[in-house]
Structure 1
């Protein structure tokens, strides 16, 4: 540490839904750095959040512009007031580093840095595939001085636009270890699980999961699917399940806090995304002893899933997805649920924050 001074870090968040994996990771940061002896870290939400229950409102390190949040459903007004509040925050900051979670924020902060003659380093921390995430500008990304990549896939995307290795820190995402290992089913029924936002197409691509299960049903009906989550496509999702004749085997739980901890037994978590940033739910499931099947999509799953904890399949290949689900049912590979948590230990909080702090120190020098 530089002469034992704390590194002052300002983390600026875009408008968030309040339900996603990004919020989970930000909360981990808030908790970890709350009483840090090496970092003085604060968090800004210039536009507030769609829901405000996810962050610790009691923390003095979290500052939310509540006025902008009143206009949560009026994007243009929210953006305007948020930008003004952000300008004042940057004007008066003494931060050494400013971490931005969107390329739009990088663009705005870069302008404010020049305007106010600030010396801080701008660090990107993007939580989506750079080629698929909404509103990602590769030009604005390059205005950052350094980058935190949450997967090697995002690191490669940065390489492809000529960002040097010395400016990238691959950190992954933090996963909390647990003693709650969820056992396999013992009654001859294979229990599959999905946890996440309900999008039939797009990122989560649940149509592919339904099609795979429809094909599986022609081979065996000894399975069920528990779905945890909500989203704009819920009605369409229900209709598709009914159309494909699998409604009796699917249970829709809606949005649930800590859904994996509600399971008494589980045999496999399935993710059929067309793209991810990291794929947090995969690591969370494996940390609880649940094997996984995931599309080998950009970016993230290939960093998490290996022969010891699950299967990857080619995105869009419904037959291959069905084949992997059948392999779980037939126990073609026996996964010891007690052994699985160790396969994602590099993402456990202690290892994660050791990596992260090393990069933050290096970026500040």
Structure 2
């Protein structure tokens, strides 16, 4: 198949870019792929990770207008499927298809929980013919919006299988790890993590791998809470898992995610995880009592209670932890993605409308 992936903007430093690069590489074995990004990434180094078989077109940051780039590419493409990563490009692709009398399928590929995604507007989203869901939570959100189940393809996200293992620390100090953007109050909600750490009675240490504008404020907060000696900020770290040798658990305190890749990366290395109940992603990955624990952010003491119970982690088997995420392996993911796209194309070729939109979203 000929596939055209389009996005308005990617920062270049997030998990979405990692998933996109891996997806392009796997799909390129059987498909002809073009990637168009309207506005150049702030950090363009991630583009070097894209497979050389993929044709990459991008605008200039703060320079060349991006709309002519999309219009020219869609006018001259003969793609079977256009996969749009945000609702703006969905709207653009469907509008230009009509204007240019093209026949490609427009498929959405959103990487956040739909109610929380910053670049998603439901009326524009539902102009797509079909939708790739990266979690069962997002699949449920599409169903709630009235999308027929046949027009939704559940792919999850991939993780690389590795023989690397994090040694589960046997010392008296419980070693906790956080990997991600440092954001105290927003999506990542690290204020909750630091506040919970201050309530833990047992010896504990937190290693924080990540950067962000809230880093100075985060350091101040740990001093105010009296836990500065228990927290090490490592900053943004390339190949973070080569630095994490010994630990007891990875923790997230996010208010929302699409599909938390940090969880998969930890579990494939045999490291248990702690994660809030999320609308999207967590219930696909975390199996309480087998590979980690889930907790409620509505309870200000929930995480602290778990951290005060070392037996919850001591009883977990590292091999079982690794096996728990086998279904997210890279080969299985690429096979699912190809199957989903083939099904969408077949549905379009049959003459059946790809998506029977409800009147509420027919704007």
State the TM-score, normalized to the length of structure 1: 0.91
Equivalences for residues 207-222 of structure 1 within 5 A: 207-216=191-200, 219-220=201-202, 222=203
- Give SS of 1:134's match: coil
Residue-by-residue CA offset, 1:298-351 (whole Å, 9 max, x unaligned): 211111000210000012322111111222x34465112233111011111011
Match of 1:224 in 2: 205
Instruction: Rate the CA distance shift 1:351–1:101 in 2: closer, same or farther, 3 A.
Output: same
Residue 113 (1) aligns with residue 105 (2): no
For 1:196 and 1:332, locate their aligned partners in 2 and report how far apart those are by CA, in whole Å.
22
Deviation of 1:60 after TM superposition, in Å, equals 4.8
Correspondent of 1:264 among 239, 245, 248: 245
Equivalences for residues 20-99 of structure 1 within 5 A: 20-34=14-28, 36=29, 38-56=30-48, 59-66=52-59, 68-69=60-61, 71=62, 81-99=65-83
Match of 1:15 in 2: 9
Deviation of 1:230 after TM superposition, in Å, equals 0.5
For 1:234 and 1:240, locate their aligned partners in 2 and report how far apart those are by CA, in whole Å.
10
Match of 1:4 in 2: none
Match of 2:302 in 1: 320
For 1:149 and 1:232, locate their aligned partners in 2 and report how far apart those are by CA, in whole Å.
30
Equivalences for residues 1-365 of structure 1 within 5 A: 7-34=1-28, 36=29, 38-56=30-48, 59-66=52-59, 68-69=60-61, 71=62, 81-216=65-200, 219-220=201-202, 222-307=203-288, 308-327=290-309, 329-331=310-312, 334-365=315-346
For 1:313 and 1:157, locate their aligned partners in 2 and report how far apart those are by CA, in whole Å.
22
- Give SS of 1:18's match: coil
Deviation of 1:14 after TM superposition, in Å, equals 2.8
Bigger drift between 103-112 and 330-339 goes to 330-339
- Give SS of 1:14's match: strand
- Structure 1 gap segments, 5+ residues each: 1-6, 72-76
- Structure 2 gap segments, 5+ residues each: 347-363
Instruction: Rate the CA distance shift 1:21–1:332 in 2: closer, same or farther, 3 A.
Output: closer
For 1:332 and 1:26, locate their aligned partners in 2 and report how far apart those are by CA, in whole Å.
33
For 1:13 and 1:174, locate their aligned partners in 2 and report how far apart those are by CA, in whole Å.
20
Deviation of 1:97 after TM superposition, in Å, equals 0.2
Residue-by-residue CA offset, 1:153-174 (whole Å, 9 max, x unaligned): 1111111110110000011100
Match of 1:3 in 2: none
State the TM-score, normalized to the length of structure 2: 0.92
Deviation of 1:25 after TM superposition, in Å, equals 0.3
Aligned Cα root-mean-square deviation (Å): 1.4
Deviation of 1:236 after TM superposition, in Å, equals 1.3
4+ residue runs over 6 A deviation: none
For 1:333 and 1:14, locate their aligned partners in 2 and report how far apart those are by CA, in whole Å.
46
Residues matched between the structures, number: 344
- Give SS of 2:34's match: strand
- Give SS of 1:162's match: coil
Deviation of 1:55 after TM superposition, in Å, equals 1.9
